[in-house]
Amino acid sequence: MTHTRDVLVIGGGVIGLTTAITLQQRGARVTVWAADDPDEIVSTVAAAVWYPSHTDSDPRVLRWARDTHAELLRQAGEGVPGVVARPTRMLLRHRYAGPPWWGDATGDLVAEPAAAPYTTVLRFTAPTVEMVPYLAWLRRRVEDGGGRVLRRRARRLTEGFDAAPTVVNATGLAAGWLAADPAVYPARGHVLLVANPGLTTSVRDEDDPAGITYVHPRRHDVVLGGTFQPNVWDTRPDPQTAAAIRRRCVALVPELADAPLLGERVGLRPARHGGPRVEVAPVEAGGGRLVHAYGHGGAGVTLSWGCAAEIARLALGD
């Protein structure tokens, strides 16, 4: 028997799980349908460093990014599995015209002159997240809060109304067909994992004409990236792409020259033209309350907690 505060979240990635936890904190009884095992979802492939990558300026998105930055810093301080606050250097090649639109969300961004071919280096603190232990921690929080995480793949969003009067659609890339949204598209991401030679600072050069370049150290490895290839569905590693990523990253951080390769990961970011869709859908005859929460692209972790608060408000009508 369902209750008016019952909510079904369809989607077991970082957006779905943070939303489930936030709903529980607001008094909802939550069930999560996860279509895949945790190690098979795109959230586990993510470099998962706080940064609103390929996200346009938007007051709503800025609020989500700011709130998530603060929450992840809090979690890092409390020793949440996989969460670390790391110093970050972002190298710019274009003329510096002032802080980026997201700069205020960091709370500590500083711009300094840089040697050619760069013009400026931005320094700030960015929380980083190792997704395998973090997703496991999120799932435990849902279950410890009385929620259930079930392995089930939805064929239609309306299936969810048999389980709860309110459904949150956090299905990522699958929302393209489940919500009949042609604005949803994949953005292929390819990263390498190498042994960490002692790095502690994240470095990124998104202006590199050869491709976006980032180096994100973790406890036992370093994530080297990357690619952002719109509308490419192939998830097989490409040797030429991998070699190019390694060349760019070694040029950026020479200490990586002899770092042994530990693995490769390829994932499809759930991107959307127009940015994330977070809104209540029109009510259909005989249906309940449906809240869409997808299209975060490569910024799922970056926007997760701030966005989850808005999703929960929409779902519960608070």
Domain boundaries, the chain: 6-316
Kindly state the tokens that stand for 194.
Answer: 């190498």
Question: Which range is least confidently modeled, 18-27, 176-185, 219-228, 302-311?
Answer: 219-228
- Average pLDDT on 62-77 reads 98
pLDDT at 16: 97
Q: Residue for token digits 């390769």?
A: 261
- Is the pLDDT assigned to residue 34 strictly greater than 90? yes
The H-or-E segment that residue 278 falls in is strand 277-280
Number of DSSP helices (H) and strands (E) in the chain, helices first: 6, 15
41 or 152: which leads in pLDDT = 152
- Is the pLDDT assigned to residue 44 strictly greater than 80? no
CA distance 161 to 202: 44
pLDDT at 1: 44
Q: What is the pTM of this model?
A: 0.94
- Average pLDDT on 29-34 reads 97
- Average pLDDT on 294-299 reads 95
Banded pLDDT at 4 (limits 50, 70, 90): low
CA distance 279 to 260: 45
Which fold is adopted by the domain 6-316? Rossmann fold (3.40.50)
